[in-house]
Amino acid sequence: MVKKTSDLVFPSSPGNMPMYDLSVIDIESLWTIHNTHDPGIIKTDEGYYVFSTDIRVGGELRPGVMVRKSQDLIHWEWVHYALPGIPQVAKEWAGATNLWAPDVVKYGEQYRMYYSASSFGSRQSLIGLQTSASIEGPWTDEGVVIQTRAEDSLNAIDANVLTDADGRMWMVYGSFFGGIHIIELNAETGKPKQEGIGTLIAKRDNTIKDGAVEGPYIVYNEQFKKYYLFVSYDSLFEDYNVRVARADTITGPYVDYNGRDMTDSAHQPRYEVGNKILGGYRFGQDPGWIAPGHNSVLHEDGSYYIVHHARGEIDKHWSYLQVRRILWTEDGWPVVSPERYAGEVEQDIPEQLIAGQWEWIVMDPSADGQIQSAVISLSSDFKLEGANGKGSWSFDGCRVLTLVWNDVVEGEGRIEKVQLLPSWDWEKETQTLVFTGLNENGISIWGKQKNGEENR
């Protein structure tokens, strides 16, 4: 059956969301997506809530864990600070001046907020626990979950708590020094069942940006029976990027598309370990984004969303909340939409909409900083031409587009299998098609149609 263009549903305009807005610097109630860093998301009966690190552009920083909420994952409103300040135990142990990377989960009728307290570059850190009967508090201090000293080999920050497929509760945590660990929790107390630091599941060589791997988050996909570990690599100010690996059991080993273990810090070249699914980018001449990362993941009714922060290219001091759809390849790998979420839904695409010019991005794992898009052309007679040479394209009649580069500089073919998604172009403020997927080497491929509006 031929699909009609009129059957396709694109998201509507999300409205104006100004950036670098100096008028809201001192008005917390207007921050919406502004001043968001290390967002942790939770779905409740009252809506979606994001808890995030205490940061601020301009003015005096107030600590206490920032809280925002939304009914649609698009429009966010400020709630308050979860806590009146820094818990006493965090002050005494870590000398913290703000709180980092909160993660909130619900157990029974109780909400549990795991927060991190440290200072930049220090291993004198702790993960603390606060509990509440309400998502908006008030919160009760439950003390320390795990802590590390300056002389320890690992760093107790960036907690993510989850329950595995067998009903056991775990906490994955860690940053830079000593890598990422996972430890089992007592479900009733929300604290470790046994002493120790748990199992190492990801690590980088310390000669690479101090072993920069942090912000772990694990999700289980029932369809593929796999656990997926998301982490962020490199500098949070310059070249942050999100990597993914998967495992059959929650404690690993976590391996990437090419079978490389996330604990293999000796692999050469070192930047290859982990599927890079999100990094700095720019479409065309429009201002892009720098250092997206430190994500959480929302799973709701079979749909997955990555929730992260990113810095605007024009002024990287401004950090913003972003939500993007996650799609899944047929062999069970997550890939991320090139555009922020605006209400789009996965649906079959009419073939006649595909031909045209596209902005094409290869999410090169070796690239530092932003990746600039290049233009490729898909002709109506199924030919492909652009920055990578020439080739052909095919379509499965539903959502999957295959690009085959036959005439490339190196003389080797390259196959890119991507999924189409009707989206909102935040840069051009119009509806358009995008695609996301992987090439035969497991490298993420993005595309955004340049002339999509003309085809509809």
Which residues participate in catalysis according to the annotation? 38, 214
Pairing of strands 371-372, 281-282: parallel
Find residue 424's DSSP bridge partners.
431
State how far the alpha carbon of 246 is from the alpha carbons of 69, 180, 249, 250, 429, in Å.
30, 14, 9, 9, 36
Phi-psi region of 287 (alpha: psi -120 to 50; beta: other; left: phi over 0): beta
What the block records as the tokens of 36 is 């968001």
- What single-letter amino acid sits at 141? D
What the block records as the tokens of 185 is 């929790």
CA angle, corner 263, sides to 260 and 265, nearest 5? 85
The full DSSP string for 230-275 is EEEES-TTTT-EEEEEEESSTT---B-TT--BTT-TT-SSGGGSSE
State how far the alpha carbon of 162 is from the alpha carbons of 71, 75, 106, 406, in Å.
23, 27, 10, 45
Phi, psi at 381, each rounded to 5°: -100, 25
What's the gap between Cα 52 and its chain centre? 14
Name the nearest CA neighbour of 277 among 119, 442, 141, 98: 442
* Cα gap 125→114, rounded to integer Å: 13
Residues near 363 by beta carbon (within 8 Å), at least 6 away in sequence: 276, 277, 278, 279, 281, 371, 443, 444, 445, 446
